[in-house]
Amino acid sequence: MTIHILGSGSATPTVTRNPTAQLLEVSGRYFLIDCGESCQISLLRKKIPLLKINHIFISHLHGDHWLGLPGLISSMHLAGRKLPLKLFCPAGMEQILQTIFSHSETQLQFEIEFSFHHPTEKKVIWENADLEIFSFPLAHRIPCHGFLFNEKKRLRNIRREAIEVYNIPVEELINLKLGKDWLHPDGRIIDNRLLTKDPKPSSSYAYCSDTEFAPHLASYFPEVSVLYHEATFTEELIERAKLTYHSTAYQAAEIAYLAGAKKLLIGHFSSRYKDLNPFLLESQKKFANTCLVFDGFSLDF
């Protein structure tokens, strides 16, 4: 997996931070997560072809998370898109887009397949053979959802040399990859670990968009490889965080700690902060493996 941060700011942009947008790349597929203003420009800077994005996830309807979406869809239309676009979003998004495109007399040449968030529980919203994607509710001023991208467990890798030694038929290999032992024609049971190697560990990415501090969230993504959690304020503005249903850097770190995450990314910084170092120091008091994100940041994991 690779995460690309297209926008790391919150409500209002600054000269260095656009509102929230991220792109997760999994085995050549692109998943766009939120689409704040300037998302398109950040995609251009990253040289991501717009038409390769087939899945978009919008966490909630505050403008800093979706105001780039009508523009992005318009550009896809102008670029000749024909393939349907899957849009996972709150129900109101459909009406917003219909209103915009009806008043601009834009007849999209492709279908938008809407899928609306489930209000109260963690739920699989998309999957294929390698990946499953969940949404889960966050605790914000308006309905808001996070997303978990989970690579499915990989098959075990065959040890070619052992296969030759035991002369195992090709049709048995799938059972070995699934972890089964091999029953030799002479009656011996050959331990699977002699015949296969561990696969590369699977990765996962959890995205906690806008939310107040809610410890139960950690149960939605146990032992996640990389957790992104908003950190709009530092602890000195904890009352402001409560009032606006946002989190502090320390609270983000507590969620990462409770979830047993391997790495924490924090972003969605309030535009009032010029120096972000206090966010890092505060978060690292609770969770050492924290990283501040910035526009253009990418991480492979």
Nearer to Zn ion by Cβ, of 39 and 76: the residue is 39
Min dist. Cβ of residue 62 to Zn ion (A): 3
* Among the residue ranges 40-48, 202-210, 224-232, 234-242, the one whose residues contact Zn ion (CB under 5 A): 202-210
| Site membership for Zn ion, residue 145 (CB under 5 A) | no
Q: Can you tell me which residue has the tokens 């009806």?
A: 102
| Site membership for Zn ion, residue 34 (CB under 5 A) | no
Binder to Zn ion among 34, 210, 230, 254 (CB under 5 A)? 210
Q: Is residue 196 helix, strand or coil?
A: strand
Given a contact cutoff of 8 angstroms between Cβ atoms, the answer to whether 217 and 209 are in contact is: no
Site for Zn ion in 165-194 (CB under 5 A): none
Please tell me the distance from the alpha carbon of residue 196 to that of residue 179, in angstroms, as a whole number.
Answer: 8
| Site membership for Zn ion, residue 282 (CB under 5 A) | no
Min dist. Cβ of residue 11 to Zn ion (A): 8
Min dist. Cβ of residue 285 to Zn ion (A): 26
| Site membership for Zn ion, residue 268 (CB under 5 A) | no
Min dist. Cβ of residue 140 to Zn ion (A): 6
Min dist. Cβ of residue 206 to Zn ion (A): 18
What's the chain's Rg over C-alpha atoms? 22
| Site membership for Zn ion, residue 229 (CB under 5 A) | no
DSSP symbol at 66: T
Nearer to Zn ion by Cβ, of 232 and 283: the residue is 232
Residues 6+ apart with CB under 8 A from 29: 54, 55, 131
Nearer to Zn ion by Cβ, of 1 and 19: the residue is 19
Active site residue 130: no
* Among the residue ranges 34-42, 57-65, 173-181, 251-259, the one whose residues contact Zn ion (CB under 5 A): 57-65
Min dist. Cβ of residue 299 to Zn ion (A): 24
Beta-sheet strands, E only, within the chain: 2-7, 21-26, 29-35, 53-57, 85-89, 112-116, 123-127, 131-137, 145-151, 157-158, 182-183, 189-190, 196-197, 204-208, 226-230, 263-267, 290-292, 298-300
| Site membership for Zn ion, residue 62 (CB under 5 A) | yes
Give the CA distances from residue 234 to residues 240, 251, 263, 269, in Å, rounded to whole numbers and listed in that order. 10, 9, 19, 9
| Site membership for Zn ion, residue 212 (CB under 5 A) | no
Nearer to Zn ion by Cβ, of 203 and 244: the residue is 244
Nearer to Zn ion by Cβ, of 4 and 62: the residue is 62
* Among the residue ranges 25-33, 56-64, 167-175, 270-278, the one whose residues contact Zn ion (CB under 5 A): 56-64
Which among 34, 64, 210, 295 is annotated as catalytic? Answer: 64
Please tell me the distance from the alpha carbon of residue 270 to that of residue 237, in angstroms, as a whole number.
Answer: 11
Give the CA distances from residue 254 to residues 88, 94, 240, 247, 285, in Å, rounded to whole numbers and listed in that order. 28, 35, 18, 11, 10
Count residues contacting Zn ion (CB under 5 A)? 2
Nearer to Zn ion by Cβ, of 204 and 209: the residue is 209
Q: Can you tell me which residue has the tokens 């040289």?
A: 47
- Comparing CA positions, the residue from 200, 197, 196, 170 lying closest to residue 181 is 196
Active site residues: 64
What residue ranges bind Zn ion (CB under 5 A)?
62, 210
